[in-house]
Amino acid sequence: MAEIIFGSADVRRKLKGFLWSQSGIVYNLTKIELSERAENLKIILGSCCQTATAIALLSESPDYFLGECIVLARAFLEKIINFCYLQVCDQEDYDKYISYTVQKSYRKLDRSVTIGEMKLGIKFIGEIDIDSNPLLKKGLEDFTTEKGREKTRWTNKNIEDRIKIICERSKIKPGCLIISLLSIYEDASEALHGTLYGCGFPTGVFIPSFDKENPSELKKYIEKQTALLLWELGIMFHQAILLLGEKNSIEDLIKKSTNNYERSFELMEKALKREDELK
């Protein structure tokens, strides 16, 4: 039997199992009737499950895919925070979220890019009567600047503001969301922008005093980072489940998620203790 120690493949696989299980609970939520906003936005929960599944699969080869896991984790983070925020936000912001989607789907029908003297475009062949669709008409008005340019954000509240409002208007504690934001968002953004840091950080190359030439230390570092990522995502699922439990009768699913959550902490406590003993 493999030893439970932080930085081992066994701990990483157990935490992958935690994420799998949490994703399964959330998937079951999409099959039952929920409160109005949650019911209307089930597609976000389903998308979170898809992203979690992709990360879990990629985590089986962390030496190759830790960076890609973190990039996907940013998408997961934003989706789960948006879902939670939309359960507690003012009606105005909720309406804007829906309105943004309608106008964006329309704008995508006619897109062009000009670089130098070359212009390429993609356009839907057909006619759409904007005046006959009040939601589309309002969406275009709301998300167009005075100079006629498209507004590309559905809310003026940044992700930190959304987390703050979630925690003020629910029983969710901010710690896990803030830790995930801190550990995922910036690195993922660098990777998405193709910076040297973004391409290299999964190897630990930019960490002072880290022995990058030691293969065993590098492997341990990658295992730790992957395990922590899987754990954070599973915990974020738990927070979303708890929030939904404030307006929905999902006691059985909350109980399962809480059991998973507590067992994950027991695992990490044991793994960290053993690592400390071996130092």
Alpha-carbon span 48 to 81, nearest angstrom:
10
Mean pLDDT on 214-241: 95
pLDDT digit string (tens) for 62-104?
999 999 999 999 999 999 999 999 999 999 999 999 999 999 9
Residue ranges of domains in the chain = 9-89+169-278, 96-142
Mean pLDDT, to the nearest integer, of 26-32? 96
Across 110-121, average pLDDT: 88
Average pLDDT value for the chain: 93
Q: Is the pLDDT of residue 1 over 70?
A: no
Contact (Cβ atoms closer than 8 angstroms) between residue 98 and residue 174: no
Burial of residue 122 (number of CB atoms within 10 Å: 0-12, 13-18, 19+): exposed
The 10s digit of each residue's pLDDT in 232-247 is 999 999 999 999 999 9
What tokens were used for 38? 């949650």
Instruction: Please report the pLDDT score of residue 90 as a whole number.
Output: 97
Q: What pTM did the predictor assign?
A: 0.93
Read off the tokens for 27: 């998937």
pLDDT digits (tens, 9 = 90+) for 135-145: 888 889 989 99
Query: So what's the pLDDT on residue 2?
Result: 63
Q: 72: part of which helix (H) or strand (E)?
A: helix 62-88
